[in-house]
Amino acid sequence: MLTSKQRAQLRGMASTMQSILTVGKGGMSPELYKQAADALLKRELIKGNVLETCEYSAREAAEMIAAETGAEVVCAIGNRFVLYKPHPKKPVIELVGTKKRVK
């Protein structure tokens, strides 16, 4: 679960990114889920958009993709959404407040 500070950090990082995932008239398909999972594994943070011809809103599409891939929805604004999933072995993005303290 992401905190509000972590979400803000990820939103800031995603603001300059290009959308690499597009949900269109075809809606959700296994290929779309696979593409999202592969992109999340490689990048950890992805931005997507939903076309007007799609039957889902950006929030609905983001939640469906997140549920299928195990990612978290960072935000969904207008027709765009941002998803985050840390790499299972070598996370690249270091989130605020996740450092382990040594006593």
Q: What is the tens place of the pLDDT at every residue in 16-28?
A: 999 999 999 888 9
Q: What is the mean pLDDT of residues 30-50?
A: 96
**3-class SS of residue 49:** strand
Domain of residue 13, residue span: 4-84
Tens-digit pLDDT profile for residues 41-94:
999 999 999 999 999 999 999 999 999 999 999 999 999 999 999 999 999 999
Residue 94 maps to a domain: no
What's the CATH number where 76 sits? 3.30.110.60
The count of domains in the chain is 1
**53 in any annotated domain:** yes
How far separated are the first and last CA of the chain, in Å rounded? 25
Q: Has residue 96 been placed in a domain?
A: no
In a domain? residue 69: yes
Is 93 contained in some domain? Answer: no
- Percentage of the chain modeled with pLDDT above 90: 86
54, 25 contact by CB (below 8 A): yes
Q: How far apart are CA 30 and CA 14, in angstroms?
A: 25
Furthest C-alpha separation in the chain: 55
In a domain, 11, yes or no: yes
